[in-house]
Structure 1
């Protein structure tokens, strides 16, 4: 099972340590448990670690648990949330639900309810992660192009086939235009008209699709993958990958779920 990071936030040491001990006794070494005595401390931890599940008290000095969740959501953290509180007022629970909190537990937290909530929340996080990586592996724009390819002019279809066969080497629009007997400028117009993206954008997407497949299904060094994806330098490939995916190739490989190889194999 892939290791999950859980962050427990509570200004009361007894409550915080109690939840931690319960999870430590339950887990089979697949949880890394972090603790924080304040929302500010928790926020700093979440900025450094990829937290899968945040378990937080609501009422804490200086910043509440709900404010903490709002700040993490503003930062686009991919985290599930469980709120724990001794206060059962409806407005707290209502606000928590509005923030997308997985569940709301009242203190003193029952061990059974805590473990059930943690189990379900981690399963939900794993499923969201899997779907997120499916989206990253399957370029929806390329899928749209493939789906609509039967309606393309013959010259465009031939151009796409030529790119798919030669994208791993140096390739430009003049070469492809020559291969399909068209003027480069005219081919550029056809690409934009029928694919909705430029020639260079299509080549980039096709190369990155292949690179992602190699990252998730092999142990090849990033430099080798860059070369096999059609890029002459690893430095440029890494920059381009990060510009398009938001993370580096190494991070993409590191944070991929266990089933990524099967996802990738089926997309290639």
Structure 2
């Protein structure tokens, strides 16, 4: 697992070093503590390094802490850390702007060790939650979200069918099998399903299986052949083919592109 990085940005050497020393003692080697003495250097660091948390003074020459936070937020190419602002002034306008920029905490100097550590722990936790949400968005199929899968207005037959399909995702289920399970004629069930879910039965099955597969590709180290089996594909080759049709890339490319790890199927 990557060591988390904390960047301290302050033009005052004593403050910068004092914060660094406190965090190094608290972190006991668990975190990489970096420093920058101005906003421009901080931006260069963020362009090159995955920073998890940035602690920056508000009042700095050239690029203020607020301006720095705004530039980071406006530039998706930069790593997007959680941000703590520090200031020697209790000014409402600063706090208000900080909230608008999504800053997770606002500390007044002089900063006690306890308050600093509490703020850092909260900010790192907020960053982890943001990462989890971001990860979820990477494998959720927007067309499944746009369907009525969670709609209370779905007929009882279709809701029962969805439950049955979910419970048997590890194997191939046919339209006729599901129609028989909900005691409907297969042709009628096919029409009803498409009308309520806004996609055909076969497309829904494929998208549901691939969404589950993407979740496993991102959150586990399971071989792709095993993931294919767990979502009901008899061969990794066919799974690879279907995945490419829907995602425009192979399962291996999808995994390595998002996790940076090499994969066993390309």
Which SS does the other structure have where 1:121 is aligned? Answer: helix
Q: Contact 1:191–1:198 (CA<8 Å) still a contact in 2? A: yes
Which residue number corresponds to residue 182 of structure 2? none
Matches of 1:20 and 1:151, distance apart in 2: 60
Q: What displacement does 1:23 show?
A: 0.2
Change (3 A) 1:196 1:251: same
Which residue number corresponds to residue 19 of structure 2? 19
Where does 1:170-181 land on structure 2 (aligned, <5 Å)?
A: 176=175
Q: What displacement does 1:143 show?
A: 11
Which residue number corresponds to residue 65 of structure 1? 65
Change (3 A) 1:123 1:161: closer
Q: What displacement does 1:104 show?
A: 1.7
Matched, 1:111 2:113: yes
Which SS does the other structure have where 1:55 is aligned? Answer: strand
Matches of 1:134 and 1:105, distance apart in 2: 32
Q: Contact 1:51–1:79 (CA<8 Å) still a contact in 2? A: yes
Matches of 1:91 and 1:159, distance apart in 2: 52
Which residue number corresponds to residue 89 of structure 1? 91
Matches of 1:146 and 1:40, distance apart in 2: 47
Q: Contact 1:227–1:234 (CA<8 Å) still a contact in 2? A: no
Where does 1:1-268 land on structure 2 (aligned, <5 Å)?
A: 3-75=3-75, 79-130=81-132, 141=145, 145=149, 151-153=155-157, 161=164, 165=168, 176=175, 182=186, 187=190, 190-197=192-199, 199=201, 202-215=204-217, 218-222=220-224, 225=227, 229=231, 230=233, 232=238, 234=240, 237=243, 248-250=254-256
Q: What displacement does 1:84 show?
A: 1.2
Q: What displacement does 1:134 show?
A: 6.3
Matches of 1:234 and 1:20, distance apart in 2: 48
Which SS does the other structure have where 2:204 is aligned? Answer: helix
Change (3 A) 1:16 1:248: farther
TM-score (norm 1): 0.65
| Aligned residue pair count | 245
Q: Contact 2:147–2:198 (CA<8 Å) still a contact in 1? A: no
Matches of 1:116 and 1:88, distance apart in 2: 19
TM-score (norm 2): 0.66
Q: Contact 1:9–1:42 (CA<8 Å) still a contact in 2? A: yes
Which residue number corresponds to residue 264 of structure 2? none
Q: Contact 1:222–1:249 (CA<8 Å) still a contact in 2? A: no
Which structure shows the higher helix fraction?
A: 1
Unaligned runs of 5+ in 1: 256-268
CA RMSD of aligned residues (A): 4.5
Which residue number corresponds to residue 260 of structure 1? none
Matches of 1:90 and 1:158, distance apart in 2: 56
Change (3 A) 1:196 1:233: closer
Q: What displacement does 1:129 show?
A: 4.1
Matches of 1:190 and 1:118, distance apart in 2: 53
Which SS does the other structure have where 1:145 is aligned? Answer: coil
Matches of 2:60 and 2:245, distance apart in 1: 41
